[in-house]
Structure 1
């Protein structure tokens, strides 16, 4: 029995859904959460948790957790649908925006963790470099303090990078391809 055009289209979509899910692993997203995003990416209309659950063959609780994760990165947004009390979700279809939102979040997280550690250890290392009882500890502490101090330039740089991504200034250095090349996502 020959395949229908609708079946061929669904097979093509399934290949892309699988590829999107697998590619999101590079960003620390599980394939199951990637599948949720990919299903929403191809959805013709906003979907409820139940709709998504049926498409990805996951529990409603797992879908709900995945949706929250995707909402935290801005890849999925909740929308209101007139006449329906259930929450509905749509995907951000602009891959550039998804990438930037995710990277800004990760860069700010990295900076926050490292900056807090620098603030905590730098005074202690400086004190040990100046006042440790033995010269070997003073020498090691001085070297470590310089390494920690050197990380401040990196922290400043990643903050500038995150700000350039968030503002869109990054595109002055790395322009988006023209949308007629088919590389920009369609609007939501």
Structure 2
């Protein structure tokens, strides 16, 4: 809890606010596995979400009651996922972190990072297999059974490559922000 955050708020109201916040923190923790991170890192993000000012690693250690190593690992993971970022603070010698406030951008960044890596790996495998199968097809031109099997497999590979080309275009739309022209950001709930 930040200093003076609840200074002029009654104890009962403080408890109600903290209870509501805790529900959100728990929900984020439970659902952040879609980002491939652990429950504790989700709770770290959830706790940081309610901060109105950047926090240090030590402040989050105190807040969460976890080891400095665990918090540091969590901060690094969240930074790599572009869910939090370092900020500068006048007169502060320690690193300061704050939550990326644009959840739309966080989603776009995360999925472009993960999907791009997956797409590249799968395209390489498909292209290598296509090259090998084309060589086998050429080497067994006179044999009907291998021709039929390899032709069917190559059609499947071509279909998969078309899918990954489409996925690359989707990733490009996320990276460029074009996706928000098709599916606009919601401004009010």
TM-score by length of 2: 0.86
Equivalent pairs, count: 179
1:88 and 2:96 are equivalent in the alignment: yes
1:168 & 1:18 partners in 2: Cα distance?
30
The within-5 A match list for 1:105-184 is 105-132=113-140, 135-178=144-187, 181-182=188-189
TM-aligned CA deviation for residue 122 of structure 1 = 1.4
5+ residue gaps in structure 2?
1-9
Where relative contact order (Cα < 8 A, 6+ residues apart) is larger, the structure is: 1
Q: What CA deviation, in whole Å up to 9, does each residue of 1:90-142 have, x standing for no partner?
A: 00122211111111112211211111112322110111122149654443233
- Asked if the contact 1:21/1:33 (under 8 Å) is kept, the reply is yes
1:93 & 1:23 partners in 2: Cα distance?
18
SS in 1 for 2:45: helix
* Mean Cα deviation higher: 94-103 or 135-144: 135-144
- Asked if the contact 1:75/1:91 (under 8 Å) is kept, the reply is yes
TM-score by length of 1: 0.86
Corresponding residue to 2:55 among 43, 47, 52: 47
Query: Aligned-residue CA RMSD in angstroms?
Result: 1.9
* Matched residue, 2:5: none
5+ residue gaps in structure 1?
183-188
Q: What CA deviation, in whole Å up to 9, does each residue of 1:147-169 have, x standing for no partner?
A: 11221111111111011111111
2:128 & 2:72 partners in 1: Cα distance?
37
Of structures 1 and 2, the larger Rg is shown by 2
TM-aligned CA deviation for residue 61 of structure 1 = 1.1
